[in-house]
Structure 1
Amino acid sequence: MRVKFSKMHGLGNDFVMLDGISQKIKLTPEKIRRLADRCLGVGCDQVLLVESPRTPEADFRYRIFNADGSEVENCGNGARCFARFVRERRLTGKKRLRVETAAGILLLKVLDSDRVSVDLGAPVLEPEQIPFSADRRADSYPLEINHETFTIGAVSMGNPHAVLLVEDVTEAPVDRLGPLLECHPRFPQKVNVGFLQIDSRDEAQLRVFERGVGETRACGTGACAAMVYAHLRGLVNDEVRIQLPGGALTIHWSGPGQPVTMSGPTTTVFHGQIIL
């Protein structure tokens, strides 16, 4: 099977973009792992597959696969790249898109040639819906790892996130705690893990250990979840610029029940073909 693809990234969080509308593509976990392999394939954090929508109110459907072959619900940086990809491939001329995902409908707005805004809807804070094992909803939760207790926030942005506040993000134990938190039994579907440093009420820094991938240069939904957690604790204003290793995202959220919006750049790296 010969497949055409585009390599894109949002702040270094990189993707193999596949047009499943104008070409027939049948993916398996093995093929996804090969595509994502940085030595034997194209190399990426996630593979994104564009399909025709299943519901009349959507313009497209897109599916998200981690580098390990697992399918996940949402990806903020991927959503921004998606909006640019379908326009570059001339699948649409629209600047406002309704996109069907496993997490629901996303609203995307192309702001200029490379920047895209994503309305991710209201964050999910009820533990059983994240999903996260807890007796009741709270802004913070104690979590034990190897006889050490950490305080975390638990938020779903269509995919589950744990957020830890740290004093210095450069010294955060991402490599040590990331894998342990990702597979913690209180997160039955595993979890993305964010390490958040608050610099001011308008500025923060973040590193993210992504479920099924490892640490990435950026994570859009992770930045949204981190901002929500900080806002719930009264640490930030309604709009925050979050600096990730790959660059900065602007996140806006005014409180419970309100949608989270994220804006940031996208980059097309190259186009190619590969035989799977």
Structure 2
Amino acid sequence: MTTRYEKAFADLEAKNEGAFVPFLMLSDPTPADAVEIIKTIVEAGADALELGVPFSDPIADGPTIQKSHVRALDGGATVNMVIDQVRQIREAYTDLPIGMLIYSNVPFVRGLDNFYKEFHEAGADSILLPDVPVREGKPFADAAEANGVDPIFIAPAQASKETLEGVAARSKGYIYAVSRDGVTGTEKESDTTGLKDVVDNVKSYGGAPILLGFGISNPQHVADAIAAGATGAISGSAVAKIIDKYVEGEHPNPGRVTDMDGLKKELTEFISAMKAATKK
């Protein structure tokens, strides 16, 4: 059976386009606001989504996305709320690939089988655990696949042969290739000069299509990622920075969107420009 990722990537290839995949934090700053923001982004041209689950110690994220974790948690975010938001988004967009980025304490607490089953039933297509390297990933990948979820692993910059072989073997849906070292964020932009080498190196081990992430913050970065041979590009901190401009309230006070119309307008312009850059 063709998966949503396979269909989306094939449809884009037929149109001579790459995929633009924005990352957003669920429940940021509230569940209702997050769903409205995500729907705006899909309507503006996102080809797939990567959605975050708020967590108190997001070690792979830089300051911008850390703030979105904190805002959501200050607003009382729970995993059950997140699952409900995924369900709402899936009901609205039946064919859209939905990936999740979740820190590993969540599956540990909920139990692996139950965790993957819950997210699959809500409508998630894939789950990436950024704090689980592929060498420790077998039980997670096995539980994911048993419950109809694509496990995603990160191909780090300058990764060893053994790591890339593992990532290629275990990742389904796509491989998340990191364009540079460090944490997420636009503070340190993607170094696009060596992207082709990064993509070619990961591709040499076979496996799923490659999406490039970390530091992808403007249309030129997206164009460079596609030109380097990636199937698409993931951008998170640049989106979170736009949302941050329109949210009032600092920790520990829950935030609120001060101008939803203004936020939606700016997000639409940004997503549209990033998507336009995927055309080959």
Instruction: Return the TM-score normalized by structure 1.
Output: 0.28
Give the number of the structure whose residues are more often strand, by fraction: 1
TM-score normalised by the chain length of structure 2: 0.28
